[in-house]
Amino acid sequence: MSKIVIIDDNTLIAKLYEANLMAEGHTVKVAFDGAAGLQLVREFKPDVVLLDLMIPEMSGVEIIKELRKEAEFNELPILAYSGGDEEVLNAAREAGASSIISKKESSLKEILKHLNELLLPDGQWHFTPSLNNEAVNEIQKEEKKILPLNERVLIVEDDELIVMIVKNIVEKAGYQVVVARDGREAYRILTNDADFAAGIFDVHVPYIEGPDLLRHMRTEKRLMKIPVMIMTTEEDIKAQLDSLSAGAAVFLKKPIERGTFEALFMGLISKKLA
């Protein structure tokens, strides 16, 4: 398997990439700013770099330029991505990025898929062209063909506004939604039905809290493979650690930012599809 460095200042997105890649057997290191990322590449000497172009301390384009000056990293495969305009992407291409992807046109799942296409079993690298609009549309068409439209997602949340937002996003992705307003109701549902593509739980719901419900799921073979996202408004790191130790695949702080949630949700679903 390969050594991969991820450089991205969005902690949730970086950790999601890391979890997916480590699950496939890769060794992964993460940096959350440009200066730390450049140092990590020099020390870790990865087989590939997954690089966000819009990062603090040192931009992704500057990192590419610095690495291309060094003989050791002159041909290092760098998959660069950004939600910025075409000018940013062109600058990365001119600096020497191996492949460029626009986050505006590609989901998190597609970026991971594109990275995995570079990782061949024999350790050799295959450089694919950047995803243009036509290529992205073709990928989306293929994904729609295999999307399990009849699969369902269990939402455990007592805030009606959050339920409405999450339900809208999940249904637009092609999944049916089952809503439980408290942990006891969710427990009853799961006792009789394990056919869910994923779960999205709030930390604090009445009767049985989200992490406790998740711990129960991890003790039952028919439930343990359902990936779960835990959400909370709390800033306390204890809530995050408790959720992750319970087995959460993703932890998300409210309020919900739609783009981030959509990306995290598709990553969550991919864990079930894998």
Instruction: Name the CATH superfamily for 3-143.
Output: Response regulator (3.40.50.2300)
pLDDT at 129: 35
Per DSSP, the three-state class of 3 is strand
Dump the DSSP string for 94-153. Answer: HHT-SEEEETTTS-HHHHHHHHHHHB-TTS-B--PPP--HHHHHHHHHHHHHH--TT-EE
Sheet with 48-52, side-by-side order of all strands: 27-31, 3-7, 48-52, 78-82, 99-102
**Per-residue confidence (pLDDT) for residue 259, from 0 to 100:** 78
| Angle, CA 240 vertex, CA 237 and CA 215 arms, to 5° | 140
Alpha carbon of 16 to those of 11, 109, 153, 241, 270: distances in Å? 8, 10, 19, 15, 11
**Residue 247, both tokens:** 């087995």
Q: What pLDDT was estimated at residue 143?
A: 42
pTM above 0.75, yes or no: no
Output phi, psi for 119, to 5 deg: -95, 95
Domain boundaries, the chain: 3-143, 152-273
Provide the 8-state DSSP code for 4: E
Q: List, for residues 82-97, the tens digit of each pLDDT value.
A: 876 678 888 999 999 9
Q: Do domains 3-143 and 152-273 have the same CATH topology?
A: yes
Q: Each residue of 12-22: pLDDT tens digit?
A: 778 778 877 88
| Residue 70 confidence class, pLDDT cut points 50, 70, 90 | very high
Half-sphere exposure of 33 (CA within 13 A, CB side): 5
**Third-level CATH fold of 152-273:** Rossmann fold (3.40.50)
Mean pLDDT across 12-41: 86
pLDDT (mean) for 205-221: 92
Q: Which residue has the higher pLDDT, 241 or 39?
A: 39
> Of the given ranges (183-192, 213-222, 264-273), which has the lowest mean pLDDT?
264-273
